């Protein structure tokens, strides 16, 4: 009778361990359905085990318990399948359970009409139970076949919609099929007396273990302590061994006579060792089935969520994601692909090592991307290979995954939008990804995907706020930020002779170009020019759209010569740009370029920009389509390659053509107020000498000269009663007098050829301490030429006779310049002016 009891015992232990695990887990519909299935299995195997070893109360009791479990197996499994695939209908569940209960009732009421209790058959020293099966047994057999057919139909429909879930479920399906096949085999004479049904139950139990242990069919969260589970397991072991003491005693006495006297000790040691083994196996099983290191992963997830909430840099977010994956799963390589701004696909933007290969590109129409966007969960590559999705991929795409050693693919989703893809290589020691790992990755993805999308949106907004919409170059605002950063890097560099060059490119007659061909063609021309400049500069500098038709190039580490070579290359390409047009002849575009470098020709950024602007202006004055280099204390230098272009248009003194205009304006003010005319002449002399002594180049000296002649031209609009008033002006009258600055600008701005003098004229009443007018500029923010004018204008006003005052002593006037140095006047210029007067370089008029 004990021959085949081991099969029943093994199956019973497997099912009890599974039931214990599920009873200690957090419940849901699927878990509850599986518990019902396990209870039915336990009814069947417990009945078989109790019947074979003759447990209390009777063999008949355990037989009917076993048969009841067998009848309930088909509907219990059908119930589990429908719940697992999400079928909420209840009709067929009730239908199949109803028939099972009917068969159970008939078998009980008729004392085994369908399946009668087996009889014990003894052969020699062994005995076994033998079933006498008749035609009625075909009724539950047909019933079982119908249920299996219904189950297969349900699984076929489910498998078509979810191949991954079908693969995870496959081991349980195989186990159940073996189980039913074993039960059907009991009707064959070949297996008469052999417990083929129980043996198939053992096979089914192992398939269930595999599904949980390797495929992780369910997510189990332990609700009770592990110690409680171990106590229950110990009690179960004691109960089982209580029923095995007699058989073990018999075995030792008859098979090991030498140890008969120590049989009790042998049984006790065997029981202890078996309990420890059972405990170890159970503990290992629990550690695999339940959420291993769940608290650690939860803490990592919490820290990750906190960290990404404090950054909007997409690279920082991706690096944090890589770190948390490697810290929790010990993955060797992680690659994060993010959708590029063009929207064509996903490129590797970050990886676990800066030396990793990052050439992989996943297109939007890649079957993998489509699958991830539709299924919204991570997938193992080994599971993916069994699907039609993988077979539809190009060989190149498959090879890319294989080359990088990718084992797991994680989608980063924001709603239905796939914003990125995480590619994970194999884990250390080739450990496989567990179901817990994949669930943690899904949780991680749900948090990180939002952060990635937000950081990408911020990055896009950041770039849009700093780039020109038409050309894609830096805009004017960001240009100044980059220029300041480059300047600070130049200052902090310890390399001898390192310079920072600035190149400004101004398109010639671009307004006429727009009038001839329209604004659309003008925009195309601007885009083409931006491409030429960007292509020429490359990674050696920063290109910005400085104005409507003006571009600026920041060139760290470039000297004047290198910047000039680059400018000439760009100018030549722009000049030849429209010659390639085939549709019709277009006006040739040309550009005037200005160059200045710091520290060779400027002392700070403001001077660098102003001097470069001045160089551009000189290029315009010299006939356009040339490059001019600003050089302090020297005449402006025309680039050698530009000489051929401007030859014939360059004049020895380009300012002579404006002399008549300036003379006419000064003559007009002389008619109204002779003092203003003579004052302007004196200021012109003082300012010119001061500019030369300050080592300004010839262009700046000429500009200061013209600005000095025109600085008070606005007084032509001031009433003579105020100009000639012999007493102190009232506050209202002084406000009117102060307006002459704006009036001067209003006159000069109508003369485009003289607009370059406006900054000097506008700022000649500003004070170094910021208390001047009209804009209250302070310190170095006041244009240099305006500071020169301020010293010259104030000195002449003090030493000249006016209706309201007599001329002051020269020494007193110089002392006033010295006393107000740093408050009203630029201290460096005031000191230099005093020196020039004392050394008689400047003759006081």
Please check the confidence at residue 364 and state whether its pLDDT lies above 50.
yes
pLDDT over threshold 90, residue 87: no
Task: Quote the crossing angle between the two packed helices 674-693 and 659-672, to the nearest 10°.
Answer: 140
Place of tokens 């710091």: 598
Asked whether residue 173 carries a pLDDT value surpassing 60, the answer given is yes
Q: What's the DSSP call for residue 494? A: -
> C-alpha distances in angstroms, 197 versus 131, 159, 200, 781?
12, 28, 5, 97
The strand pair at 542-545 and 500-507 is best described as unpaired
pLDDT for the residue numbered 839:
93
CATH 1.10.3720.10 fits 657-838, yes or no: no
Range scoring the smallest mean pLDDT among 240-249, 392-401, 408-417, 792-801: 240-249
Q: Measured between alpha carbons, how far is 740 from 715 in angstroms, rounded to an integer?
A: 5
Task: Kindly tell me if the per-residue pLDDT of 781 is higher than 50.
Answer: yes
Beta strands per DSSP E along 1-42: none
439: which 2 tokens?
């669930």
Which H or E run includes 129?
strand 126-130
Specify whether the CB–CB gap between 30 and 83 falls below 8 A: yes
603-608 average pLDDT score: 87
- The yes-or-no verdict on residue 417 having pLDDT over 60 is yes
For the stretch 661-711, pLDDT in tens is 777 777 777 676 667 778 888 999 999 999 999 988 787 888 899 899 888
Among the listed residues 510, 325, 285, the one whose alpha carbon sits nearest the alpha carbon of residue 422: 325
H/E stretch holding 411 reads: strand 406-414
Q: Looking at residues 623-644, what average pLDDT do you find?
A: 65
**DSSP letters spanning 364-375:** TT-HHHHHHHHH
Q: Give the closest residue to 419 by CA, choosing from 398, 390, 447.
A: 447
Q: Which residues pair with 550 in a beta bridge?
A: 506
- Class of the 476-650 domain? alpha beta
Report how far residue 683's alpha carbon sits from residue 712's, in angstroms, rounded to the nearest whole number.
10
- Residue owning tokens 């085949």: 4
Question: If you write DSSP's letter for every residue of 325-350 in order, what string do you get?
Answer: HHHHH-BS-EEEEEE-TTSSEEEEEE
Considering only 160-174, 216-230, 232-246, 440-454, which range has the smallest mean pLDDT? 216-230
Q: How far is CA 649 from the centre of its chain?
A: 55
Count of CB atoms situated within 10 Å of the CB of 660: 9
3-state class (DSSP) for residue 339: strand
Q: Is it the case that residue 765 has pLDDT exceeding 80?
A: yes
Decide if pLDDT at 516 tops 80.
no
Mean pLDDT, residues 574-586 taken together: 67
Side-by-side strand order, sheet with 345-351:
361-363, 345-351, 334-339, 417-425, 406-414, 379-380
- CB burial of residue 697 (10 Å; 0-12, 13-18, 19+): buried
Tokens linked to 448: 């990180």
Asked if pLDDT for residue 53 goes beyond 80, the answer is no
Count CA atoms within 13 Å of residue 735 on its CB side.
2
Q: Which residues, 6 or more positions from 442, have their beta carbon under 8 angstroms from its beta carbon?
A: 377, 378, 410
- According to the model, what pLDDT value does residue 638 have? 53
Q: What is the pLDDT of residue 572?
A: 92
Q: Distance (Å, rounded) from C-alpha 768 to C-alpha 823?
A: 5
**Residue percentage of the chain with pLDDT more than 90:** 24
Whole-number Å distance between alpha carbons of 87 and 90:
9
Over residues 464-474, the pLDDT tens digits come to: 788 888 998 99
Q: What does the pLDDT read at residue 167?
A: 66
* Percent of the chain predicted with pLDDT > 70: 82
Quickly count: other Cβ atoms within 10 Å of residue 156's Cβ.
10
Asked whether the predicted pLDDT for residue 268 surpasses 60, the reply is yes
Tokens (6 digits) for 253: 């006495």
- Distance, in Å, from the CA atom of 383 to the CA atom of 165, rounded to the nearest integer, reads 10
φ/ψ of 457, rounded to 5, equals -65, -40
Q: DSSP class of residue 825?
A: B
The per-residue pLDDT for 165 is 62
Asked if pLDDT for residue 341 goes beyond 80, the answer is: no
pLDDT for residue 586 is more than 60: yes
Largest CA distance in the chain: 150
CA–CA dist 41, 466 (Å, integer): 69
Q: Does domain 5-223 correspond to CATH entry 1.20.1070.10?
A: yes
In angstroms, the Cα distances linking 6 to 1, 3, 495, 602 are 11, 7, 85, 97
pLDDT, tens only, 741-760: 888 888 887 776 677 788 89
Is the whole-model pTM more than 0.85?
no
pLDDT of residue 237: 67
Length in residues, the chain? 845
DSSP SS3 for 440: helix
Rounded to an integer, what distance in angstroms lies between the CA atom of residue 736 and that of residue 716? 12
The confidence score (pLDDT) of residue 609 equals: 92
Of the given ranges (236-250, 399-413, 790-804), which has the lowest mean pLDDT?
A: 236-250
Interaxial angle between packed helices 827-838 and 784-799, expressed in degrees from 0 to 180 and rounded to the nearest 10: 50
3-state helix, strand, coil in the chain (%, to 5): 65, 10, 25
pLDDT grade for 795, boundaries at 50, 70 and 90: very high
DSSP 204: H
CATH class name, domain 307-466 = alpha beta
Least confident of 191-205, 459-473, 526-540: 191-205
At 465, list the tokens. 């706020």
What is the structure's pLDDT at 647? 35
- Residue-wise DSSP of 554-604: EEET--HHHHHHHHHHHHHHHHHHGGG--SS--PPP-EEEEEEEETTS-SS
For residues 565 and 125, which has the higher predicted lDDT (pLDDT)? 565
**Residues 55-85 pLDDT 10s:** 778 888 888 898 898 899 889 989 988 887 7
Question: What are the domain boundaries of the chain?
Answer: 5-223, 228-290, 307-466, 476-650, 657-838
Using one digit for the tens of pLDDT, what is the confidence trace for 92-128?
A: 999 999 999 999 999 888 877 888 777 676 665 656 6
- CA–CA dist 738, 744 (Å, integer): 11
227 pLDDT tier (thresholds 50, 70, 90)? low
Evaluate if residue 401 carries a pLDDT over 60: yes
Tokens of 644: 């051929």
Q: What is the DSSP string of 237-298?
A: HHHHHHTTHHHHHHHHHHH-GGGGGGHHHHHHHHHHHHHHHHHHHHHHHHHHHB-TTHHHHH
- pLDDT at position 215 over 50: no
The three-class DSSP label of residue 544 is: strand
* Alpha carbon distances (Å) from 453 to 55, 377, 414, 448, 817: 66, 18, 7, 9, 62
Q: Which of 200-204, 365-369, 731-735 has the lowest mean pLDDT?
A: 200-204
Mean pLDDT computed over every residue of the chain: 81
pLDDT at 236: 63
Predicted pLDDT of residue 655: 53
pLDDT classification of 46: cutoffs 50, 70, 90: confident
């Amino acid at each position: 009778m004990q021959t085949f009891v081991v099969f029943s015992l093994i199956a019973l232990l497997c099912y009890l361990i599974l039931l214990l695990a599920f009873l200690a887990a957090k419940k849901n519909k699927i878990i509850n359905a599986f518990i019902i299935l396990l209870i039915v299995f336990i009814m069947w195997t417990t009945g078989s085990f109790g019947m074979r070893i003759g447990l209390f109360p009777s063999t008949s009791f355990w037989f009917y318990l076993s048969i009841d479990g067998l009848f309930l197996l088909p509907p219990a499994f059908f119930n589990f399948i429908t719940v697992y695939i999400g079928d909420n209908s209840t009709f067929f569940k009730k239908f199949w359970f109803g028939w099972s209960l009917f068969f159970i009732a008939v078998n009980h009421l008729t004392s085994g009409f369908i399946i009668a209790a087996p009889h014990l058959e003894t052969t020699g020293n062994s005995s076994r139970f033998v079933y006498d099966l008749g035609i009625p047994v075909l009724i539950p057999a047909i019933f079982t076949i119908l249920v299996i057919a219904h189950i297969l139909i349900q699984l076929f429909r489910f498998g078509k919609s979810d191949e991954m879930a079908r693969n995870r479920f496959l081991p349980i399906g195989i186990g159940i099929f073996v189980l039913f096949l074993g039960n059907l085999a009991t009707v064959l004479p070949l297996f008469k007396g052999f417990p083929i049904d129980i043996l198939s139950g053992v096979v089914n139990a192992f398939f269930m273990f595999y599904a949980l242990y390797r495929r992780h069919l369910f997510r189990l969260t332990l609700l009770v302590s592990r110690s409680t589970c171990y106590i229950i397991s110990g009690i179960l072991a004691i109960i089982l061994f209580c029923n095995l003491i007699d058989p073990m005693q018999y075995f030792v006495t008859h098979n090991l006579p030498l140890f008969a006297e120590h049989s009790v000790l042998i049984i006790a040691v065997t029981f202890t060792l078996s309990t420890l083994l059972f405990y170890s196996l159970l503990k290992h099983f629990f550690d695999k089935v339940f959420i291993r290191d769940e608290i650690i992963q939860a803490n990592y997830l919490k820290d990750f969520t906190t960290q990404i909430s404090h950054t909007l840099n997409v690279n920082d977010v991706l690096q944090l994601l890589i770190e948390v994956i490697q810290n929790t799963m010990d993955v060797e390589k992680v690659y994060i692909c993010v959708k590029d701004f063009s929207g064509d696909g996903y490129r590797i933007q970050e990886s676990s090592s800066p030396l990793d290969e990052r050439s992989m590109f996943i297109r939007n129409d890649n079957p993998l991307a489509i699958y991830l966007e539709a299924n919204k969960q991570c997938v193992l590559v080994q599971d993916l290979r069994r699907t039609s999705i993988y077979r539809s991929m190009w060989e190149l795409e498959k090879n890319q995954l294989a080359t990088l050693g990718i084992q797991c693919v994680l989608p980063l989703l924001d709603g239905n939008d796939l914003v990125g893809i995480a590619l994970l290589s194999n884990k250390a020691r080739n450990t496989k990804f567990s179901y817990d790992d994949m669930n943690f990755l899904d949780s991680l993805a749900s948090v990180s995907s939002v952060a990635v999308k937000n950081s990408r949106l911020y990055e896009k907004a950041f770039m849009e706020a700093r780039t020109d919409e038409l050309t894609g170059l830096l805009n004017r605002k960001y240009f100044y930020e980059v220029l300041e950063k480059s300047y600070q890097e130049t200052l902090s560099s310890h390399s001898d002779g390192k310079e920072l060059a600035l190149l400004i490119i101004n398109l010639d007659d671009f307004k006429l170009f727009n009038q001839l061909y329209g604004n659309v063609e003008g925009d195309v021309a601007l885009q083409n020019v931006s491409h030429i400049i960007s292509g020429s500069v490359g990674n050696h500098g920063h290109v910005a759209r400085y104005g409507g038709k003006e571009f600026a190039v920041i060139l760290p580490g470039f000297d004047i010569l290198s910047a000039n070579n680059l400018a000439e290359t760009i100018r030549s390409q722009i000049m030849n740009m429209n010659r390639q047009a085939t549709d019709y002849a277009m006006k040739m575009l040309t550009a005037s370029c200005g160059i200045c470098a710091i520290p060779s020709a400027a002392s700070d950024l403001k001077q660098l920009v102003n001097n470069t602007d001045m160089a551009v202006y000189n290029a315009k004055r010299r006939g356009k389509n040339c490059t001019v280099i600003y050089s302090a204390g020297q005449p402006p230098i025309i680039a050698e390659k530009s000489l051929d272009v401007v030859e014939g248009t360059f004049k020895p003194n380009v300012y002579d053509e404006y002399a008549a205009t300036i003379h006419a304006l000064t003559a007009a003010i002389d008619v109204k107020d002779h003092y203003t005319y003579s004052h302007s002449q004196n200021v012109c002399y003082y300012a010119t000498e001061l500019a030369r002594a300050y080592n300004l180049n010839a262009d700046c000296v000429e500009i200061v000269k013209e600005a000095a002649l025109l600085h008070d031209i606005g007084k032509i609009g001031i009433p003579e009663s105020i100009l000639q008033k012999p007493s102190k002006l009232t506050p209202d009258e002084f406000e009117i007098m102060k307006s002459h600055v704006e009036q001067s600008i209003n006159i000069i701005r109508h003369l485009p050829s003289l607009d370059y003098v406006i900054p000097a004229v506008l700022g000649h009443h500003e004070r170094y301490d910021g208390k001047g007018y009209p804009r209250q500029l302070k310190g170095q923010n006041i244009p240099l030429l305006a500071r020169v004018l301020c010293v010259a204008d104030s000195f002449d006003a003090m030493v000249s006779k006016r209706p309201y005052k007599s001329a002051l002593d020269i020494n007193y006037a110089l002392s006033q310049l010295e006393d107000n140095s740093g408050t009203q006047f630029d201290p460096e210029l005031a000191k230099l002016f005093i020196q020039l007067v004392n050394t008689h370089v400047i003759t006081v008029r």
